[in-house]
Amino acid sequence: MSIARADYAELSTDLFKKYLAFSMAIKASGLDAKLRHLVDIRVSQMNGCAFCVDMHVKEAKIAGERELRLHHVAIWRESPLFDARERAAFAWAEALTRLGEHGVTDALYDEARAQFDEKSLAELTFAVMAINGWNRASIAFRVVPGSRDAAYGLTKAGLA
């Protein structure tokens, strides 16, 4: 188990608050909260961010997400538990998280657009951008999973 490093939020309070405000603006957008939680979990899994996987699983559970679906996020392609919109969101999030040499294909864009209007796709894109940033900061500073549960109200999830 690795030991946490410096507290980046405390060291750069102004930037932390501004990035948090960006994330709060995404939460206030029209993007469905349950979908956002699922995307946050998937991106955090891809990036190997233990703190964020832990946090977003707890948030999703508090928001009423079924536990089996939370377990199936990692295997969403094979799972029958996700609808076409959720699958398109996962595919979009994965493509933006691991941009290939040629970016996002027209086929993937068309698949996403079949499920999201332009505004919703833009909001989803900002959500993916936000979680990727949080993942990078949490990984770089080795934020310990569960270490901020009380401060974030995540103890309600009952997953201590």
DSSP structural state of residue 117: -
Q: How do residues 82-117 score in pLDDT, each as one tens digit?
A: 999 999 999 999 999 999 888 999 999 999 999 999
The answer on pLDDT for 73 being more than 80 is yes
Lowest-pLDDT range of 43-47, 126-130, 153-157: 153-157
Burial 124-149 (b: 16+ CB within 10 A, else e): bbbbbebbbebbebbbebebebbeeb
How confident is residue 1, by pLDDT bands cut at 50, 70 and 90? low
What span, in angstroms and rounded, lies between the C-alpha atoms of 98 and 103? Answer: 9
pLDDT at 103: 92
The answer on pLDDT for 158 being more than 90 is no
Do the beta carbons of residue 42 and residue 79 sit within 8 Å? no
pLDDT at 159: 83
The pTM of the full predicted model, rounded to 2 decimals, is: 0.93
- 60's CB contacts (< 8 A; 6+ apart) are 34, 37, 38, 41, 70
Mean pLDDT of the chain: 94
Q: How do residues 16-71 score in pLDDT, each as one tens digit?
A: 999 999 999 999 999 999 999 999 999 999 999 999 999 999 999 999 999 999 99
Q: What are the residue ranges spanned by the domains of the chain? A: 31-150
pLDDT at 57: 97
pLDDT at 54: 96
pLDDT at 154: 86
Pick the CATH number of 31-150 from 1.20.1290.10, 3.20.20.70, 3.40.950.10, 3.40.50.720: 1.20.1290.10
